[in-house]
Structure 1
Amino acid sequence: MDIGLAIAVRNLPGKPQHLPSLYREFLAEAELAEQLGFDAVWVSEHHFAEDNWNSATLPMLAAVAARTERVRLGTYVLLLALHDPLRVAEDLTGIDLISNGRLDIAVGAGPMEVECKVFGIDKNEAFGRTYEALEFMQRCFSEDGPFTHEGKYYHYPNVCMRPRSVQQPHPPIWMAAMGPQSIQRAAQRGYHLASALHSPLWKTYAGQLEAAGRKRSDHRVMSGPLLVHLAPTRELAWDEAEQGMHWCVDFYNRRGWTAPLPPVGELRRTPDAGIYGIPFAVGTPQDVVRILGRYREEPLNQICLQFRAPGMEYACVERSLRMFAAEVMPEMRRWGAQA
């Protein structure tokens, strides 16, 4: 099973960290992940968040590309409906060139309501815009001669994108899907699946691929991202991570997407505490192997892990990453995706 690192640059309100330093630390985390044997680094996108969630996904990904040599690089997720797809295709091509063909594109069709409103996008159109933009971008990456796109949402005359991406006909495309309709569309179009949920949807995807006449072996499934933190003792791990992880859940709770939370200090005693039913993996290396072990028999090709909750000091994150690589990663390498 491949193991990916998720990057979400976020500050903890009430415990702010110097943002330029925070960005440099996340770049250092990506470099360390490559050195420790991680397979991919994924950068997220959100806008106007009170915790300064990174909104400039592609510049951040380009910076990671320039600092690494081997690891795959991806957007997880790119909120494509908010952007000009021609401009995005050009910027992604630049990252694929900088990285010598290491780019993956994971796209989400569900920006938050405030994001759509400020960008002037009807939220009800986000799904349609996303899939039309992807179809157009695939042509940008692959077509030699000029073409014209006349769609419902986008209109481009005489497009002939130069330079071309290293990966042809285009970099791998993943769809972040949370429901049956998105999973069906991803399978029909041959996109890989990145889903925050678990077994039922992953298995639905396999069935939809078969219905579309596609081979499961040609398509990949990725989890998460799951929040992870390791320390020599379970108590220390929770002491270092609980406040930031509580904030991560509360971020969604205040938008009506998750159930109410116990207070900080009680989260560690809440069974299967996490986001969208995905439990936090917090504790000793043995604890983390046990918690992540529930994914051992799932039809996953990659598990995506986030090691830094808002407010955590980088020294704690680095220690956690090194412990994971030494004591958890070897066990996970023996796990294989089940068709």
Structure 2
Amino acid sequence: MKFAVSLSMERFNPEERMSDKIHNFLKLVRMADEGGFETLWTAEHHTLECTISPNPFITLTWLAQHTQNIRLGTSTLVAPYWSPIRLAGESALCDHLTGGRLEFGIARGAYQYEFDRMAGGIPQQEGVAYMKELLPAVKKLWQGDYAHDGHYWKFPVATSVPKPLQQPHPPIWVATRDPASFDWAVSVGANILSTPLSAPASEVVVLGEKFRKAVADHPEVPRPRFMMQRRTCVYDREQDWEVAVRHSIDYGRAFENLMQNIGTVNNGFPEAVPYELVANRDSYNPEAIRENLMFGTPDEIIRKLELYEAQGVDQFCLGLAFNLPFELQEKTLRLFIDEVMPHFARRAAARQAD
């Protein structure tokens, strides 16, 4: 099992300086690169200070100038916000400018709040239909001349300029939790990005079963890779868990604001919805959050990760973007690099020796 980290530049109050956020973001990415993480993932979002990434390709191109080995991924591009020609060309150029390190992640989109501003107010659930039309068109454009006559887009013969550096194209990842999208993604040769959100460990098993079924149902394609992400905080002392849980709860209430479109956003800053309006109050139980999410000492983290490894997860991704203070993000990466990753490296070496 390899490891990745998901990061975004995030501001949660107007007093926080953008220059500090850029500096801290770059420092964490360099730590991950030097520490042996496989991939850095960053998302696409608009009009929201809590996830500052209006075009991940710009961010990844910048990061490529400051890193050596880490793969650079979009987690994820929001399908309804793009046209096939623009997406094909921008992603291919990013692949060249990053030296062939681009990982192309795409999704239907998460926030109805954004859809109301970026996609004409279509229901967020309709994003999956856009994705299923967009991705095959982008792949055709990467190959050469192609004309498209679809439901959402129509254009005469065109091609991607430039073509990707990686051939036939950068690795493609589809973000999903839905069984039908698992099946579709595997059928088109894409890898899977998924998350159990804040659900119990049993949800990790459920997602693993969805992945295995999709793979079994499509023996005609090579087995794709399977990534799973959880909010992560690693600390020295067991009693430090309350800080991570508190930040996760506060972030979760802001997340529900955007998912359900039920709260207020002031000048880009979403307010946390009142506790009585949250959709699933059980997911805000502090003890449950402590156990379900990737929070713990290095030994606790290793214990939790073994479940993911058993479910066939090829890449576990540390979700660090939930308003966790920079000092805790930095400590999490350092402890993970020094005490968690060596454990799994030794296990992998032992299996190869056998």
Shift of the 23–289 alpha-carbon distance from structure 1 to 2, 3 Å rule, reads same
Correspondences of 1:300-339 after superposition (within 5 Å): 300-313=313-326, 315-334=327-346
Say if 1:82 and 1:121, in contact at 8 Å, map to a contact too: no
For residues 190-229 of structure 1, give each alpha carbon's deviation from its aligned partner in whole angstroms, at most 9, with x where no partner exists: 211111132223322332233233355x3111101x1222
Say if 1:250 and 1:261, in contact at 8 Å, map to a contact too: no
1:295 aligns with 2:308: yes
Q: List gaps (5 residues or longer) in structure 2.
A: 197-203, 261-277, 349-354
Structure showing the higher helix proportion among its residues: 2
How much is the aligned-residue C-alpha RMSD, in angstroms?
A: 2.4
Counterpart Cα distance in 2 of 1:133 and 1:24 = 35
Instruction: Determine helix, strand or coil for the equivalent of 2:288.
Output: coil
Counterpart Cα distance in 1 of 2:283 and 2:227 = 29
Say if 2:234 and 2:297, in contact at 8 Å, map to a contact too: yes
Counterpart Cα distance in 2 of 1:307 and 1:86 = 32
Correspondences of 1:116-155 after superposition (within 5 Å): 116-119=115-118, 120=120, 122-123=122-123, 125-143=126-144, 146-155=145-154
Say if 2:79 and 2:131, in contact at 8 Å, map to a contact too: yes
Counterpart Cα distance in 2 of 1:87 and 1:55 = 15
Shift of the 74–176 alpha-carbon distance from structure 1 to 2, 3 Å rule, reads same
Counterpart Cα distance in 2 of 1:192 and 1:47 = 25
Amino acid in the other structure paired with 2:345:
R
Q: Which residue of 1 aligns with 2:211?
A: 205
Which residue, 231, 235, 240 being the options, matches 2:235? 231
Say if 1:238 and 1:283, in contact at 8 Å, map to a contact too: no
Q: List gaps (5 residues or longer) in structure 1.
A: none
Say if 1:12 and 1:247, in contact at 8 Å, map to a contact too: no
1:282 aligns with 2:295: yes
Q: Which residue of 1 aligns with 2:86?
A: 87
Counterpart Cα distance in 2 of 1:112 and 1:8 = 16
Higher mean displacement: 4-13 or 52-61 = 52-61
TM-score by length of 2: 0.82
Give 1:58 deviation, angstroms.
2.0
Give 1:121 deviation, angstroms.
5.1
Counterpart Cα distance in 2 of 1:19 and 1:246 = 24
Say if 2:189 and 2:221, in contact at 8 Å, map to a contact too: no
For residues 239-285 of structure 1, give each alpha carbon's deviation from its aligned partner in whole angstroms, at most 9, with x where no partner exists: 3x34432222222344457522798xx73xx13448xxxx2222321
Amino acid in the other structure paired with 2:10:
R
TM-score by length of 1: 0.86
Say if 2:46 and 2:114, in contact at 8 Å, map to a contact too: yes
Counterpart Cα distance in 1 of 2:133 and 2:333 = 39
Give 1:110 deviation, angstroms.
3.1
Q: Which residue of 1 aligns with 2:58?
A: 59
Instruction: Determine helix, strand or coil for the equivalent of 2:65.
Output: helix
